[in-house]
Structures are given as C-alpha cells and as structure tokens.
Amino acid sequence: PTAAAGKSTRGGRITPGEWERRTGLQLRFIYRRRGPSLLVAEGRLNSKGRAVASRSKTGRGLVTAPIFLLVPQVKLRKRLDLARDAERAIDGVPGRIVAGWNP
C-alpha cells in the first residue's frame, strides 16, 4: 500500500478488499512491463494525502492515485528441516552401534 491508501482499522497494512469497502471506490489494475504493476483509484486526494471519492459533478480535482504497488511474490514450502533430520539420525545411533558390535 502507498501513503494514499491509509492504514487498516487494525493499525497495520490495509488490503485492497478492505480499502474498497471503506472508500466505496473501485480499484483498477494497471499492468506495467517495467517495475511493479499498480492498483489505482479515480478520485481526489484529501488534505492528508489519502485518496477519497470526489463529490464534484464537473470532475474538477480528479486524479488517478496509485493505491497499491503489486510486487510478484511466491510462497515456497519449507524443504530443509534440520531439526527433523537430526532427530532421525539420533534415533538410529543405538541400532548402528549394535549392528557394528563384534563379540
């Protein structure tokens, strides 16, 4: 979220769905080949720099304000678990000692 998005009601980062519900404005997706794509809103900026709906009938003061920068991300599952592998190795030690024992 950019500064024009504002804060969440819980004080953290606001989501696009929550922003649309709070403001009543639709977000529009803009694809950019270079740099992050955008979610923008048509409206005006209030004195705090937040995007709000324009009440003007003529469209005076309307701006296209970027509300969210979309950064490509992927969640990868955890592949390496050293604690699990160490437990398996420790559990196998007594069996290896007995197997290698020559009386």
Nearest CA among 36, 32, 35, 65 for reference residue 48: 65
Domain spans, the chain: 3-72
φ, ψ for residue 65, nearest 5 deg? -100, 125
Amino acid 59: pLDDT: 66
Walking along the chain (103 residues) 10 residues at a time, the average pLDDT comes out as 82 86 88 91 73 69 84 85 87 84 73
Confidence (pTM): 0.60
Count Cβ atoms within 10 A of the Cβ of residue 37 and give its class: 0-12 exposed, 13-18 middle, 19 or more buried. middle
pLDDT of residue 29: 94
Which pLDDT score is estimated for 73? 86
